[in-house]
């Protein structure tokens, strides 16, 4: 069994220095949790706001409906929201929404009405011709899920959580005592945002919930989605198009079916990792070749103002797993 002491020491030091107000670090393999520890005024069972780590779980909910024949990657958003068809000359499809290639203009994070923002009209680029990171697109994913199931989209999200034994995942803001530190300083009205139930960034969860999901995906036994769907969800789709905004080509990251693929990230040792990060420092990453996943839950906005490099944690976990 590999030892991950260096990764836990790294997290402990960042909490002790005050860079991270609190943190929970967890590591798992296909069999379950290997190590789990909380730092600062936190416990391992605490819920944290996951922010964009929500996206791949919503993506899995949509992918499960593709498996069932109720959606396809080319299902147009206009099927669920007919009024969207009049807003643009091109057709925005599910695969555009989950891969950040829809061209839907991005509103402020704390916009009070997600559906109104989705239907505000305009476009940054024609669907599929470029990639720009998008959270509002997942409101479209939620609309397609709800239309396909005839139920609130959260029910399929909860079903994915149940399949992975991640039953603590929730959109109830009262579940968490770890509001993001410095949110207002970085332009986020937390009260408005936390009330959105945002399918691209509004979930709360425990480290154990994400570790359960990571373990299930490492086993790839069909419990969450089929092995074929896992293969499809990890397929990069933005390699040959311009990448705009903060996810430039130089960062070495592609988008897949709701997952982030740091396949060519110059800061990482691994080349088959997939996962997602969140606005206030949350991290959830899976590396199949090493049979390991890790979760970091924390709650600090604007970590880039510190000498903080999450690639260090990635590499500490990966190097330890490779010695296993």
Encode pLDDT of 112-158 as tens digits.
Answer: 999 999 999 999 999 999 999 999 999 999 999 999 999 999 999 99
The arithmetic mean of pLDDT across residues 6-28, rounded, is: 98
pLDDT confidence of residue 1:
62
- Residue 140 within a domain: yes
Q: Is the pLDDT of residue 291 over 70?
A: yes
pLDDT confidence of residue 2:
75
- Residue 40 within a domain: no
Length of the chain: 324
- Residue 39 within a domain: no
- Helix, strand, coil fractions of the chain, as percent rounded to 5: 40, 15, 45
Which residues lie below 8 Å from residue 145, measured CB to CB, with a gap of 6+? 58, 61, 62, 65, 71, 153, 156, 157
pLDDT confidence of residue 300:
98
Count up the domains in the chain and report the number.
1
Interval 52-85: pLDDT, tens:
999 999 999 999 999 999 999 999 999 999 999 9
Instruction: Classify residue 319 as exposed, middle or buried by CB count within 10 Å of its CB (0-12, 13-18, 19+).
Output: middle
- Residue 35 within a domain: no
Interval 204-262: pLDDT, tens:
999 999 999 999 999 999 999 999 999 999 999 999 999 999 898 989 999 999 999 99
Count of other CB atoms within 10 angstroms of residue 74: 10
pLDDT-derived band of residue 324, with 50, 70 and 90 as boundaries? confident
Closest CA to 98 of 249, 200, 205: 200
- Residue 217 within a domain: yes
> Over pLDDT 70: what percentage of the chain?
100
pLDDT confidence of residue 202:
98
Mean pLDDT for the chain overall:
97
- Residue 270 within a domain: yes
pLDDT confidence of residue 31:
98
The arithmetic mean of pLDDT across residues 280-285, rounded, is: 98
Q: Is the pLDDT of residue 189 over 80?
A: yes
Any idea what the CATH number is for the domain that residue 312 is in?
3.40.710.10
The arithmetic mean of pLDDT across residues 102-113, rounded, is: 98
DSSP secondary structure code for residue 295 in this structure: E
- Residue 268 within a domain: yes
- Residue 221 within a domain: yes
Query: What's the CA gap between 209 and 204, in Å, rounded?
Result: 10
Supply the range of the domain harboring residue 158: 5-29+46-322
pLDDT-derived band of residue 316, with 50, 70 and 90 as boundaries? very high
pLDDT confidence of residue 142:
98
């Amino acid at each position: 069994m590999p030892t991950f002491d260096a990764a836990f020491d790294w997290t402990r030091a960042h909490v002790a220095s005050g860079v991270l107000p609190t943190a929970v670090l967890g590591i798992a393999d296909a069999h379950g949790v290997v190590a789990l520890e909380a730092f600062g005024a936190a416990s391992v069972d605490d819920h944290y706001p996951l922010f964009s780590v929500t996206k791949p779980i919503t993506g899995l909910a949509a992918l499960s409906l593709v498996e069932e024949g109720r959606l396809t990657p080319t299902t147009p958003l206009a099927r669920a929201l007919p009024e969207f068809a009049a807003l643009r000359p091109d057709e925005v499809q599910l695969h555009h929404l989950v891969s950040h290639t829809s061209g839907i203009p991005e509103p402020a994070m704390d916009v009070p009405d997600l559906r109104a923002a989705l239907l505000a009209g305009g476009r940054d680029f024609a669907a599929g011709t470029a990639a720009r990171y998008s959270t509002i697109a997942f409101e479209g994913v939620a609309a397609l899920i709800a239309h396909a199931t005839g139920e609130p989209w959260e029910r399929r999200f909860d079903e994915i959580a149940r399949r992975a034994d991640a039953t603590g995942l929730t959109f109830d803001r009262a579940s968490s005592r770890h509001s993001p530190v410095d949110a207002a300083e970085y332009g986020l009205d937390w009260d408005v945002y936390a009330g959105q139930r945002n399918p691209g960034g509004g979930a709360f969860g425990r480290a154990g919930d994400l570790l359960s999901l990571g373990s299930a995906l490492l086993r790839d036994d069909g419990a969450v989605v089929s092995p074929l769907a896992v293969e499809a969800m990890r397929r990069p789709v933005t390699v040959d198009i311009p990448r705009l905004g903060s996810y430039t080509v130089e960062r070495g990251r592609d988008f897949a079916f709701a997952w982030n693929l740091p396949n060519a990230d110059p800061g990482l040792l691994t080349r088959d990792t997939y996962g997602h990060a969140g606005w206030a420092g949350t991290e959830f990453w899976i590396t199949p070749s090493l049979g390991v996943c890790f979760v970091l839950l924390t709650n600090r906005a604007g970590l880039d103002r510190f000498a903080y490099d999450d690639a260090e944690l990635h590499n500490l976990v990966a190097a330890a797993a490779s010695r296993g």
